[in-house]
Each structure stands twice: as structure tokens, then as C-alpha cells.
Amino acid sequence: MAKETEIKLRISPASLATLPEHPVLAARCVGPWQTRELLNRYYDTDDFALANNQVALRIRRDGEQLIQTLKSKGASVAGLSERNEFDWPLKSNRLVLSHLDTSCWPDSLAGLDKKQLKAVFSTDFKRQFAEIRWLRDGVDTVVEVALDQGLVIAGEQQEDICEVELELREGDPAALLELALELAADVALMPCDISKAERGYRLFDANSYSVAAVPAELSADMPLDDAFAAIAWQFLGNSQRLAEQYRFNGHWKLLEQWLQQLVNLRALLASLGQAVPRPSSNILRLQLDALINDWRARIQAGADDQATREAAPLAFANELSDNRWGVFSLRMALWLQNKEWQHKRTARGSRQGAATLQNWLLQFLKDEAQALQVHRYMRQPEDLAEQTPRIERLLAWLQTARQLTDLVDSDRLFGSLRELHALALQPLDAELLVLRREHLGSVLTLNAWKQLVR
């Protein structure tokens, strides 16, 4: 068994053609670029038992070679993924079921009759590839760069393949993100957390591709630093998957949810005080503000305007043809991978980062709730919008960690604050002022709120 560590990046065909000559790659290339045709058949049952268990099984023809491969889903976020991979050379273009024994076959599929497996779709593409090598902090780093272009074909449906794969052969996984970020400075690259197999299944069922990343695993006694990183990875992963799915089908709700993940990230970065010093996240916050401001205005306009909704997929395609989304995504991932917020922070910030999540969270919620000054905005509902950032900080933590508090009706509090946030963003009129005042009053009646402000 091998462990595959790679990052996938969506790219336009025109930009793909330029990459072999890109200075960053040309300076590190240790041999000529090579080309091969890869023909792949993926196998599953009629009810997609393998896909439902996050397993991919294929036979690949690579020139005269035939290889049977089993892959299991591993950790994957922001396009950077780790997967377990098993390979077997074949003599003919037929599955060898005896290879699929208990050494690699998941327990969840132990009862499956493997004779039901059949070819369900194909991914055929041309691959240009080369090995690059460089010293990173005095350590030899080796990456295979693969430029893939072709088609996923499932029955009568198909989707283009045009992507860059950076696979780590030697070195630190952070090197993949650093390399991708160097390339993304010049070329529009979209970190893309979807495999070729997932694309094939998506052609059968558009909803088979989950738009939610793996939820953060939080515990009451974990350090705040660890909780912050886990939640940030979740929000970033969600944004990547939502961007990919919106690009694919253009459903308006996905665009709204994509923006929400960016808002969550922005709120998270602003919530930890000295534990995440502002200078450490300054570039990220500026990039987020630009994205949020542009797309929030468009989404607010689309709430009541069908023409704006219909124009949004093209606008999003234009966003992806620029490099700011890819650069932000990669920079955020690298910042998290290297834990850059911990660099050069004060001793007090380090103590705060080491505090247990439960203790910090309850004090944070109390401080923010009291600073929200609900009674004041009951009298001045027209000024509520100025508290939007504070409401967003409360929502980001209540969304992910409210189960760790002792607030008796935290779910109701989260729901009420979401409604209040939506009202704070809407253009003012007389009716809206009444609604704002009513929702502020309802927040005051919640037991959870009383716990926070007492």
C-alpha cells in the first residue's frame, strides 16, 4: 500500500498549455516533460456501493501496462488530499477479484458480492508530467507535476477534465501548497477537492458530491489553537466544495452558502484577540473583505432580482478566471498548515491559545453578547448594521461549538441570531425597523441569552 499526497488545481486549457514553460517549474525540472495517454474504467455495483463507502476501484491502461487500483478516501481539504492506494499489475483488462482481500478491502463492504462489480464510467485523458526538485529549508523536495486534459464519460453524459496535479514524492506536504501558491500568482488556479471518480459519479447524480467538508472534531478540553485550526479548515473546505459544485450546476443556494463560508472565516479570524494577532492574518482579512464585499452586494441584489441570479454563474466563472480566489484559498491553507498565527505572538497570546476551548468559549460568548448592547439597539434599530461583525463572530462559534456550552437553548439562540443578522443586512425601511426591534426583543427572552449577559 502507498499513501498518496497531492493537490488538485482546476485550470483553463489555455493556461494549462503554458505551464511547462512557467519559470517556477522550468527552473526546478530535472528531466524532460513526458506525455502518456491514460484510459481508466471505474467499477462499482448498480447501487454504487463502493462510492457510498468512499472507495474507488479502476483499471488503468497506461501504454502497454494494465494496472488495477483501489483507493480509499482519506483526509482532504482545500484540494490537498491524502489517500490510501493499492496497485496491482494485470495481464488482461479484467478485474482480479482475488486482489480485493481483507488486506485492502474495507470492513464496511465485507458482505458485498464482488461479482456484481461492473464498469460504470470512464476517465480518459492525456497527461503531461515531469519531476521537479528543489531544496526547501535544506531538505530535498521532490514533486511530480501532472497536467491532465480529457473527458469523464458516464453513459451519454460527459465533463471536461483540465487540471494540474501536484503529487509529493519527497518532503513536507506544505511544499505542495507553497508551489501551488507560486504558480497561482501568475495563473488562475482553483484548488479543487474533487477526484476524477467523484466527477464520474456526479454525472449520474449531481447531489452525490457532498458540499460539506468533514466537520471539525471538537472537545471541551482541547486547546483553543487546535479548535481554531479545525474550524478554519472546515470552513475553508466547505468553501472549496461549494465553489466547485456551484461552478458545475449554478444553483443559487450554493452561491449563498459559499459566501457564508467566507463570512464565517472572516469572523473566525477576528475572534481570538491576541491568540491570533491581527498582523499575522492581515493579508487574509484584506482578501476576504474584497471577496465578501463584491459577492455580498451581488447576492443581496439577487434576492429580489431574477436577472441577477441568472447572470451569477457567468460572473462566478469570471471570478474563477481571475487568480484572487485561488490565491486566497492556497494562502489560507498554507497559513493554517504552517500555524502562522502562532509565530511572533506575545506570551499572553500563547497562553490564550493554550486555554481549553470550553473555558475560553463561554467567556468569549459572554463578552460578545454583552458588547452587542441589545437594549440600545431596541431603541435605535436603524443602527443595528454596525453590529454585523459582532453577530457574525457569535454565529461562527455557535454554529460549530455550541454543543460544548451549558447554554440551555443554544440552538434557539443560534437561530435567532441568524435571523437578526439577515435583518441587519437588509436596506432600511419602516417595516424593517419594526422587525429588527421585534427580533431584538425575542433574543432578550431566550434563557441562553440571559445566561450570557447576567
Closest CA to 26 of 131, 128, 126, 162: 131
Task: Express as a percent the part of the chain with pLDDT over 70.
Answer: 97
Q: For 338-351, write each residue's pLDDT tens digit.
A: 999 999 999 999 99
CB-side exposure of 433: number of CA atoms within 13 Å? 8
Task: Express as a percent the part of the chain with pLDDT over 90.
Answer: 89
Angle at 206 between CA 203 and CA 208, to 5 degrees: 100
Is the pLDDT assigned to residue 79 strictly greater than 90?
no
Considering only 69-78, 173-182, 249-258, 428-437, which range has the smallest mean pLDDT?
69-78
Is the pLDDT assigned to residue 83 strictly greater than 80?
no
pLDDT of residue 164: 97
pLDDT of residue 75: 60
Is the pLDDT assigned to residue 198 strictly greater than 80?
yes
Q: For 427-436, write each residue's pLDDT tens digit.
A: 888 999 999 9
Q: What are the two backbone dihedrals, phi and then psi, of residue 200, each rounded to the nearest 5 degrees?
A: -60, -45
pLDDT of residue 82: 67
Closest CA to 423 of 303, 269, 290: 303
> Residues near 334 by Cβ (< 8 Å), separated by ≥ 6?
174, 177, 178, 181, 340
Asked if residues 275 and 353 have their Cβ atoms less than 8 Å apart, the reply is yes
DSSP secondary structure letters along 53-83:
TTEEEEEEEETTEEEEEEEE---EETTEEEE
Q: Please tell me the pTM assigned to this model.
A: 0.93
Average pLDDT, the chain: 94
pLDDT of residue 2: 60
pLDDT of residue 283: 97
For 139, counting Cβ atoms within 10 Å of its Cβ (0-12 exposed, 13-18 middle, 19+ buried), the class is: exposed
- pLDDT bucket at 454, cuts 50 / 70 / 90: confident
Q: For 386-408, write each residue's pLDDT tens digit.
A: 999 999 999 999 999 999 998 98
Is the pLDDT assigned to residue 77 strictly greater than 90?
no
Asked if residues 189 and 11 have their Cβ atoms less than 8 Å apart, the reply is yes
**Cα–Cα distance, 20 to 16 (Å, whole number):** 8
3-state secondary structure 221-245: CCEHHHHHHHHHHHHHHHHHHHHHH
Q: What's the rounded mean pLDDT across residues 302-331? A: 95
Q: What's the rounded mean pLDDT across residues 115-123? A: 96
CB-side exposure of 206: number of CA atoms within 13 Å? 12
